[in-house]
Structure 1
Amino acid sequence: MAQKATKTLAASNTARLNQTLYLTLFIHGIFWLVRGLLFRSTFTRRSLLLYLVLSSPQLLIQFLFERQSRPKLNDAGAIQRAGEDLEAKGLTEYMWDVVYWTYGVIFFAAVAGDWSWWLWTVVPMYSAYAAWTTYTGMTGGYTDAAGVPQPEAATSKRQVKMEKRGGQKVSYR
């Protein structure tokens, strides 16, 4: 069972990337079918430009995921590189949010029309909110009556246990 973690990561990356590829083809296909066939009269150059500009971040992120996370195999069929973890926290998690939000916006734009592209403004607002909460979390987030930020007093696990037992007891010999 050599390299079990590598094999597991490669299998999960392959499954997730394949699922994402099929979902992307399905969502973009629905957009083109609905807007191209059913609402042909409202599908203008402006609609096409909005689609190209606002769906490009999702397509670029998916291309990035394919390049970095698709497992590489050698000539013998063994895993040469498993790729980056698609379940990683932080930026990868945020990029998945952008991908899934774009799917929803494209679907609503196909069904409801061009006004649905305004739903894309949620992404920059969320980014600003996340940056602000990260910034205030780093500064402590606590202010006194004068509005001056105060750092949080950290208590260790040992201190918490001692307080549960009734505080620190001094023994005299």
Structure 2
Amino acid sequence: MANQSAKRIAQENAARLALMKKLFLGVNGFYLAVRLLFQYSSLTWGTILLYLLTFSLELALYRSLHTTSRPRYDSSGILVDAGTDLSQPGLVSYMFDYIYISWFVHLLSLVTRWAWWLYLAIPVYLAVAFGPYVMQFLGIGQGTGKQEEQSMTEEDAAKEKKRREKKERKQQRVKYARH
């Protein structure tokens, strides 16, 4: 039964990678064909550099997804490891998101050169999604004791003082030991 799940994951990964390969070749082939055949006059070094940079990162992520999701078989052909599940959340989904954004930007950049600015959405999203974790890790934004005391109301301060006094009185009591 457990092997059925691994086989299902391997089949789903293979199907998803086959679709990704078709889309990868289709989108980038279409971009290059239109850019070189019909929009050659608007081709600049900046556009070439942006495309090569984003394409190389897109290719690296695709290759990473391909290698990590590849199933492994033993010498008798039995499935040993299904590879990384491509439908899992986390880093894998972020890799897919970057690839999808790249395809969208590449196609939209055929219409307007301002489409390249959409890549700024990636660091903005990362800052919003992971900013609180990073700030907490670095200790930024956490209140200190002095700030907390200043923010206390007089009523809270009086209650806190009573609690401290009661605790001190309790500690000063003589305790009798039983033998």
Q: TM-score, normalised by structure 2?
A: 0.69
Structure-2 residue corresponding to 1:101: 101
Residue 69 of structure 1: aligned partner: 69
Q: Residue in 2 aligned with 1:115? A: 114
- 3-state DSSP class of the match of 2:105? helix
Aligned-partner Cα distance in 2 for 1:84–1:73: 14
The DSSP-based 3-state class of the residue aligned with 1:89 is coil
Q: How does 1:14-29 map to 2 (within 5 A)?
A: 14-29=14-29
Give yes or no for contact 1:35–1:43 (8 Å, CA) kept in 2.
yes
Summarize deviations over 1:89-108 as a string: whole Å, max 9, x none.
22112121111111111111
Give the CA deviation at 1:31. 0.5
Residues 3 and 45 of structure 1: is their aligned pair in 2 closer, same or farther, counting only changes over 3 Å? Answer: same
Provide the aligned length of Structure 1 versus Structure 2. Answer: 144
Give the distance between the partners of 2:32 and 2:105, measured in 1 at CA: 14
Question: Matches of residues 127-166 of structure 1 in structure 2 within 5 Å?
Answer: 127-134=126-133
Asked if the contact 1:72/1:81 (under 8 Å) is kept, the reply is yes
8 Å Cα contact 1:72/1:82 also seen in 2: yes
- The Cα shift of 1:15 comes to 0.7
Q: Is 2:82 the partner of 1:82?
A: yes
TM-score (norm. length: structure 1): 0.71
Report the alpha carbon displacement of residue 88 of structure 1 after superposing the two structures with TM.
Answer: 1.6
Q: Deviations over 1:60-100 (max 9, x none)?
A: 11010011102234565443431111112221121211111
Consecutive unaligned residues of structure 1, counting only runs of 5 or more, are: 149-173
SS in structure 2 opposite 1:112? coil
Aligned in 2, Cα 1:147/1:15: closer, same or farther, shift over 3 Å? farther
Aligned partners of 1:6 and 1:82 also within 8 Å? yes
Question: 2:116 is matched by which residue type in structure 1?
Answer: W
Residue aligning to 2:34:
34
Query: Percent of aligned pairs with the same residue?
Result: 32
State whether residues 9 and 85 of structure 1, in contact with CA within 8 Å, keep that contact through their aligned partners in structure 2. yes
- Pick closer, same or farther for the CA change 1:101–1:14 going to 2, 3 Å: same
Query: After superposition, what is the alpha-carbon deviation per residue over 1:149-168, rounded to whole angstroms, capped at 9, x for unaligned?
Result: xxxxxxxxxxxxxxxxxxxx
2: distance between equivalents of 1:93 and 1:53?
21
2-structure distance, mates of 1:15, 1:104? 22
Aligned-pair RMSD on alpha carbons? 2.6
